[in-house]
Amino acid sequence: MQNPPLKSPAFFIHDLRIRLHDTDAAGVLFYGHLFRHAHDAYESFMEHIGFALPTLIGTGPTPLLPLPIIQARARYQRPLRHGEAVRIELRVTEVRDRSFALDYRFCDTQGRACATASTVHCLADAQRVLPAALRRALTDRIADLDRNPGQRLA
């Protein structure tokens, strides 16, 4: 099953460079590291909208708001090589009472999509819902992207 297409050209931007430790023996991004970079973009995005993960999920044995990833998918279209600059474009695609979904597009310096990924984050406690402020921040982000097509929101 393929990832659904990204619906808006506007995204939260996270830039990186492929490091040697990210690559496999062929010198291209090791497949599992795509999710590590997607998660780095997610953490930057959450901090940007005012919900830094260390504060949101807390520290210690009992997290304040456990938000495990319950689904993750990736599709690889072009190799990402050691030393290459990569732009991750993150978009909020869905917000529900207990979960939200994100899409990521990994682009090379020419703007070509090299990979896409998606993650679904869900509250671990079935008796709770996402805090209203977080749901509003995520929903506002979707609205921002829909109101400003073609604009890169960083």
The pLDDT tens digits for 54-98 are 888 876 666 678 889 999 999 999 999 999 999 999 999 889 888
What would the two tokens of residue 83 be? 């030393």
User: Is 0.75 surpassed by the pTM of this model?
Assistant: yes
User: Lowest-pLDDT range, 9-23, 24-38, 104-118?
Assistant: 9-23
Structural domains of the chain in order of their starting residue, each with its CATH number: 12-147 (3.10.129.10)
pLDDT at position 50 over 60: yes
* Average pLDDT of the residues in 18-35: 95
- The pLDDT value recorded for residue 62 is 65
- The pLDDT value recorded for residue 1 is 37
Yes or no: say if 92 and 102 are a contact pair by the CB < 8 Å rule.
yes
- The pLDDT value recorded for residue 61 is 62
pLDDT at position 130 over 90: no
- The pLDDT value recorded for residue 2 is 42
pLDDT at position 146 over 70: no
pLDDT at position 108 over 70: yes
Extract long-range pairs of 32-40: CB within 8 Å, 24+ residues apart: 34/74, 34/76, 34/106, 34/115, 34/117, 35/72, 35/74, 35/117, 37/86, 37/88, 37/106, 38/72, 38/74, 38/88, 38/104, 38/117, 38/119, 39/119, 40/14, 40/16
